[in-house]
Amino acid sequence: MTRPAADARWTERLFRVALVVKGVDGAAELLGAVALLVVSGDWMHRVVAVILARDLLGPPDAPPARHLVAAIDDVAGGDRTFVVAYLGLHGILKLALVWALLRRWLPAYPVAVGVLALFVVYELVHAWHTGSVLLPFLALLDVAIIVLVLREYRMLRGQRAAPV
């Protein structure tokens, strides 16, 4: 009889850890959007040059270095509006959902599942088009979080429906 209670506590802790990770991710995205509004493209290029000069990413012509330079060129040059809006809205949405789920606000659970499912679809489609190795991993992580959110939602609904 104690086994299900121990499993419930373990998955509850895992759920909370997953929410904290999503919250940190959302905060980082929001801070990234703010930083992109404030920081100049020249400064970004200088930081990348310092990173490459220290050889943190291997030789300058190695794939990680080329990807970093290309990403900075995309963000630093031209219009940053899409990137800033995407990161800002994504970060705010994640933080709002994490807050609602930590407060155990029942209507937020189906919304969170839907939003995370959209993230998974986006991550997989974008990975397919870009050949990213990281995005399928992030999609798998989001699927795991969806499972935890659904489990927590069922448990909360059961507790609230049970007579006292």
What angle, 0 to 180 degrees and rounded to 10, lies between the N-to-C axes of helices 134-161 and 2-38?
130
Produce one character per residue of 93-109: b if its CB has 16 or more CB atoms within 10 Å, e if not.
Answer: bbbebbebbeeeeeebb
Integer-rounded Cα radius of gyration of the chain: 20
pLDDT in tens, 9-26: 888 888 899 899 999 999
Segment 31-80, tens digit of pLDDT: 988 988 888 777 777 777 776 656 565 666 667 667 767 767 666 666 67
pTM, entire model: 0.72
